[in-house]
Amino acid sequence: KELVFSGVQPTGNLHLGNYLGALQKFVALQESHECIYCVVDLHSLTATLVHDDLAEQTRSITAAFLASGIDPKKHIVFNQSQVMQHAELAWVFNCVARIGWMNRMTQFKDKAGKDRENASLGLLAYPSLMAADILVYRATHVPVGDDQKQHLELTRDIAQKFNNDFSGRIAALGHGIDMQVGEEKVSGFFPLTEPLIEGPVTRVMSLRDGSKKMSKSDPSDLSRINLTDDADAISRKIKKAKTDPEALPSEVAGLEGRPEAQNLVGIYSALAGVTRAEVLADFGGRQFSDFKPALAELAVEKLSPIAGEMRRISADPAYIDGVLRDGAGRAREKAEATMKMVREIIGLING
């Protein structure tokens, strides 16, 4: 059975990249799948251990989930630290995964910088906790931005190694599930999770530099559109967005080698729910001075209602805490069912 899981860290204001790379997909998948969406607060400790506003940030991301249209009654919305089975499985995965696998992760290399010896062990083990988040529900599909692709590949490697290392016990206990690996039908305990990365923009780039991803940690606020920005701020940032001097091409192939144009056309197409070819059919041959106001108007139309709804929901923290508590209760039941089997497979005594 297909099950969707994804998480977002409570590390700052969500931006358009998070919305198009993650939230918009989360909302769409609710129609076709059972979904579990998580605010991964334990992950955020890997960046900065001491947060003055971790609880507030966690509520703000939850409000963004709900304001975007995620239904916490039909699906599950919760924060990671309330379901300790994530941390328990992550420990098991720390013993399955190899240090070399973690050392190769580009996110670790970027975030640890030059002084790797001084990076936290948590930052190195981040992908192991991410694999546990997904596999503690034996989720089959994970909607993410393109930046998370390498971590999803590692999740598959961890699942595969666990399945291989314990294949005899998994079969003897009857805990295996059948799955398709390429041409082959195999049995294993953890599914080999598929990332869902497709769409017109899989990586939204900075508005100031088409070669860098839009990011919460970019020091320039002009580089990103925050979900909480008002109409003025959105229009100003799009007006100031870096572009080249050429007119827009009439065909998608003409975007090649023009990262800023590619980014803005991709954003337009994802927000409007049309293909990039359709955007260029309308705007091909026109200057950015024509295209930017249309993009700003569209962004305001799509994002302003979310910002308004976020403000409304955020005014009631007790309601948000109730949603998280209820979601955590339902998530815990599922996660514990997996962990009971994992403990049996490994040979730990279940309490």
Give the residue with the Cβ less far from ligand AQP, 234 or 339: 234
CB of 130 to ligand AQP, least distance (A): 9
- Interface mask toward ligand AQP for 173-212; x: CB under 6 A: ------------------------------xx--------
Q: Which stretch binds ligand AQP (CB under 6 A): 14-22, 173-181, 287-295, 302-310?
A: 14-22
Choose the stretch contacting ligand AQP; rule: CB under 6 A; options: 4-12, 180-188, 242-250, 287-295. 4-12
Taking each continuous run of H as one helix and of E as one strand, the counts in the chain are: 15, 7
Which one of the spans 93-101, 214-222, 261-269, 293-301 is the region binding ligand AQP (CB under 6 A)? 214-222
Note every long-range contact of 68-74, with CB atoms under 8 Å and residues 24 or more positions apart, other chains counting: 68/19, 68/23, 68/24, 68/26, 68/27, 68/306, 69/27, 69/30, 70/23, 70/26, 70/27, 70/30, 70/35, 70/37, 71/30, 72/323, 72/326, 72/327, 74/30
Q: How many CA atoms lie within 13 A of 191 on its CB side?
A: 21
Question: Which stretch, 77-85, 180-188, 215-223, 263-271, contacts ligand AQP (CB under 6 A)?
Answer: 215-223
Q: Is 10 annotated as a binding residue?
A: yes
What contacts 120, CB < 8 A, 6 or more positions away?
Answer: 46, 49
Cα 291–Cα 292–Cα 293 angle in degrees, nearest 5: 95
Q: State the catalytic residue, choosing from 161, 216, 302, 340.
A: 216
**145: contact with ligand AQP by CB under 6 A:** yes
Query: Residue 345 CB, nearest distance to ligand AQP (Å)?
Result: 29
- Of 38, 56, 15, the C-alpha closest to 315 is 56
Smallest gap, in angstroms, from Cβ of residue 65 to ligand AQP?
A: 11
Pick left, alpha or beta for residue 113 (phi over 0 → left; psi -120 to 50 → alpha; otherwise beta): left
Q: Is 114 a catalytic residue?
A: no
Of 11-19, 174-182, 317-325, 331-339, the window that binds ligand AQP (rule: CB under 6 A) is 11-19
| 215 appears as a binding residue in the annotation | yes
Q: C-beta of 210: minimal distance to ligand AQP in Å?
A: 12
CB atoms within 10 A of CB 7: 24
Rule CB under 6 A: choose which of 148, 163, 223, 226 binds ligand AQP: 148
| Minimum distance from residue 28 beta carbon to ligand AQP (Å) | 14
Is 145 annotated among the ligand-binding residues? yes
What would the DSSP string read from start to end of 163-230? HHHTHHHHHHHT--EEEEETTEEEEESS--PEEE--SS-SSPBPSS-TTSB--TT-S-GGG--BTT--
For position 276 contacting ligand AQP by CB under 6 A, the verdict is: no
- Residue 166 or 268: the one with the smaller Cβ distance to ligand AQP is 268
Residue 17 as a binder of ligand AQP (CB under 6 A): the answer is: yes
- CA 171, CA 286: separation in Å to the nearest integer? 62
Q: Residue 17 annotated as binding?
A: yes
Cβ neighbours for 273, distance < 8 A, ≥ 6 positions apart:
none
Cα separation, 135 vs 127, whole angstroms: 12
Q: Rule CB under 6 A: is residue 11 a binding residue for ligand AQP?
A: yes
Among 41, 88, 147, 229, binds ligand AQP (CB under 6 A): 147
| 216 assigned to active site | yes
d(CA 116, CA 268): 39
Give me the least distance between CB of 147 and ligand AQP, in Å please: 5
Q: Which 8-state DSSP code applies to residue 21?
A: I
Interacting residues with ligand AQP (CB under 6 A): 8-9, 11, 17-18, 20-22, 144-145, 147-148, 203-204, 213-217
Active site members: 111, 213, 216
Q: Which residues are annotated as a binding site for L-tryptophan?
A: 133
